């Protein structure tokens, strides 16, 4: 397989796995943030939003420290799987999850908040337990927000660079994602290949964002 081909497949795989795992992790977090009266809420919100403002290299640096085989987490992973977390796909997934967290949690949270207490207490009076309310009311009313969150997370993961470089390095087929491959091409002065990748990413992002805005216009939100 060509180097570009394997970079595309790796990048898509990373984006898919990251989005999927972030749905599982981000949904409860977003729900907690949307409904809690806990005093710690602003702190947790700030931590969630941190990847938006921090340079990716900062996140990458700390992850490198945390995940390397001599640190407890990295060591545990090596004993569990025989592989290191750093410079591996698993490490990239962990890094991407942290890096893309706000893109999943924030749209979900605001969409959950829009469901409103009125609807929830009505469902409760009809005999729906908290979990039942979440699946029968909150999720169906948050379809648009969930789609937005998923798409943004996916595309944002595709485009990440700094964190990947720090944690994953540049190993073809293992950690060389599209943006790394692009960097590689430019470093080697292969501008034709660089152009193809860059234009491809621009087009893809444009398409996906148009899709998001289209969804926001077309899909019924909250009544």
Partner 1 sequence: MADRVLDFNLTAQRGNFRLLAEGRIPLSGVTSISGPSGAGKTSLLRALAGLDRNVSGEVRLGDEVWMSGHRTRPVYTRRIGMVFQDTRLFSHLDVAGNLAYAARRAAPDQPGPSQPEIIDLLDLDGLLGQSVRSLSGGERQRVALGRALASRPRLLILDEAFSALDAARRNRLLPGLRALLDHHELPALHVSHSLSETAQLADHALPILSGRTGTLMPVNDWFAQQDSNAPDPCVLVTGRLSAHDKTRQLSRVSLGQAQIELPGLSDIPEGAPLRLLIHTRDVAIARTRLEGLSIRNQIPVRLAAIRDVAGSAYCDLSLDLDGQVLMARITRSAAEDLELATGETLIALIKSASLDPGRE
Binding site for partner 1 (CB under 8 A): 118-119, 121-130, 132-133, 136-137, 140-141, 220, 222-223
Distance CA 42, CA 48 (A): 10
Cβ nearer to partner 1, comparing 113 with 193: 113
Cβ nearer to partner 1, comparing 144 with 185: 144
Cβ nearer to partner 1, comparing 122 with 210: 122
Cβ nearer to partner 1, comparing 115 with 197: 115
Q: Which runs of consecutive H residues, i.e. helices, occur in the chain? A: 3-35, 41-53, 56-67, 72-81, 89-115, 117-125, 130-133, 139-141, 143-158, 162-168, 178-187, 191-218
On whether the CB atoms of residues 52 and 102 are closer than 8 A, the answer is yes
Residue 125 CB, shortest distance to partner 1, in Å, is 4
Cβ nearer to partner 1, comparing 130 with 172: 130
Residue 217 CB, shortest distance to partner 1, in Å, is 17
Residue 136 CB, shortest distance to partner 1, in Å, is 7
Residue 112 CB, shortest distance to partner 1, in Å, is 14
Distances (CA, A) of 26 to 60, 141, 144, 146: 20, 17, 16, 10
User: Tokens 């979990």 identify what position?
Assistant: 131
Distance CA 212, CA 146 (A): 11
Q: Residue 54: phi, psi to the nearest 5?
A: -75, 145
Residue 92 CB, shortest distance to partner 1, in Å, is 37
């Amino acid at each position: 397989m060509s180097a570009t081909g394997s970079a595309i497949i790796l990048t898509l795989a990373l984006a898919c796995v990251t989005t999927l795992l972030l749905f599982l992790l981000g949904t409860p977090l977003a729900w907690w943030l949307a409904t809690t009266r806990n005093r710690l809420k602003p702190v947790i919100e700030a931590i969630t939003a941190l990847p938006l403002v921090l340079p990716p290299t900062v996140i990458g640096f700390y992850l490198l420290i945390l995940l390397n085989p001599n640190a407890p987490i990295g060591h545990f992973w090596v004993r569990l799987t025989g592989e290191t977390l750093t410079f591996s796909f698993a490490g990239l997934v962990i890094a991407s999850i942290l890096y893309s967290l706000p893109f999943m949690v924030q749209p979900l949270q605001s969409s959950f908040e829009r469901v409103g207490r009125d609807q929830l207490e009505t469902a409760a009076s009809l005999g729906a337990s908290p979990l039942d309310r979440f699946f029968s009311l909150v999720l169906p009313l948050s379809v648009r927000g969930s789609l937005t969150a998923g798409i943004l997370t996916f595309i944002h993961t595709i485009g990440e660079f700094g964190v990947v470089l720090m944690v994953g390095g540049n190993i073809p087929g293992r950690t060389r994602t599209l943006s790394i491959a692009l960097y590689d091409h430019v470093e080697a002065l292969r501008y034709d290949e660089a152009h193809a990748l860059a234009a491809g990413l621009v087009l893809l992002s444009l398409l996906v964002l148009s899709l998001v805005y289209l969804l926001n216009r077309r899909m019924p939100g909250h009544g």
